[in-house]
């Protein structure tokens, strides 16, 4: 299956996204469209001439779940609007939806290893109150709506449930997930940090992008695919970073004040993605080397 990949951004463009226009070759390869999330026909210009679409929805990881229902409903309307436009186009062969491990792992009945067959329980998320409560709830509910719509309308929709995507970044400011993590890890400020029990799953940003393109082009894929390269316990991560970056004051795990929760974050299985033929290109060292270099470039380190 051959797709014509056209660089498009379906979004309400703000000053915060204006940096996209300054990226290399953006004037030749990037097209930005302004849309109305309540009008699915407004997505037509962005989709016209394409036979593959990659979509997702932006959620502030630290957003509170005040007005949760309204925010999630707006996001659902927007995602379904894009899917309706894909159906109307008559040319779209497959849609890739970007989701998260937050829609997989938060379930009291989760085994030690989870794959794309598992779903987070939104009631359990509210009870557990992990970091990014609204993020996890919204990702779960919106992915379910997208899959239900695709099934009812015979639309080829494939989901990518990626782990914590980490590595170099192109934004002019440090992304929030890197911002939250780097001071703890690199600057030695792990005191009073709440750590979830279990494993921390990682995947390189570029591998996430490669997985999207792979799933867009691979004929035999369907359903949900976990994209996670490596997972470590906080202790293992501390040991890895101390060995790789001795120039930073990275404490041992024994020095950390750890808040242990009854729920242990499980390992993620990428077996379905790997069995389809995908191969990860980057390891944990590549992720941290890239993130540190980018942080230095924007003056964060």
Q: Which residues are catalytic?
A: 139
For residue 118, with 0-12 CB atoms within 10 Å meaning exposed, 13-18 middle and 19 or more buried, which class applies? buried
| Strand ranges inside 13-168, DSSP E | 30-33, 52-55, 94-100, 113-114, 157-162, 164-166
Nearest to 287 by CA among 178, 162, 132: 178
Cβ within 8 Å of residue 231, ≥6 positions away: 163, 199, 200, 201, 202, 267, 268
What are the beta bridge partners of residue 267? Answer: 113
């Amino acid at each position: 299956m051959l797709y014509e990949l056209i660089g498009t951004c379906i979004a309400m463009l703000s000053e915060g996204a204006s940096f996209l226009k300054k990226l290399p070759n953006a004037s030749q390869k990037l097209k930005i469209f302004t849309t109305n999330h309540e009008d699915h026909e407004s997505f037509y210009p962005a989709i016209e001439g394409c036979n593959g679409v990659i979509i997702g929805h932006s959620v502030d990881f630290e957003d509170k779940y005040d007005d949760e229902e309204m925010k999630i409903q707006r996001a659902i309307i927007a995602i379904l609007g894009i899917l309706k436009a894909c159906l109307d186009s008559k040319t779209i062969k497959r849609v890739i939806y970007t989701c998260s491990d937050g829609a997989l792992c938060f379930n009291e009945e989760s085994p030690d290893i989870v794959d794309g067959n598992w779903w987070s329980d939104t009631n359990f998320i509210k009870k557990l109150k992990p970091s990014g409560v609204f993020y996890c709830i919204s990702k779960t509910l919106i992915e379910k709506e997208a899959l239900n719509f695709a099934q009812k309308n015979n639309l080829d929709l494939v989901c990518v449930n990626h782990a914590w995507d980490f590595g170099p970044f192109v934004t002019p400011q440090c992304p929030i997930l890197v911002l939250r993590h780097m001071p703890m890890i690199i600057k030695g400020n792990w005191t009073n940090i709440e750590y979830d029990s279990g494993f921390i799953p990682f995947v390189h940003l570029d591998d996430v992008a490669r997985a999207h393109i792979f799933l867009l082009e691979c004929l035999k894929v369907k359903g949900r695919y976990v994209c996670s390269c490596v997972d470590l316990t906080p202790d293992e991560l501390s040991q890895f970073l101390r060995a790789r970056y001795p120039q930073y004051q990275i404490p041992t795990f024994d020095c950390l004040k750890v808040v242990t929760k009854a729920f242990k974050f499980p390992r993620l299985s990428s077996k379905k993605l790997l069995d389809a033929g995908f191969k990860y290109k980057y390891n944990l060292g590549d992720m941290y080397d890239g993130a540190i270099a980018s942080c230095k470039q924007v003056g964060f380190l």
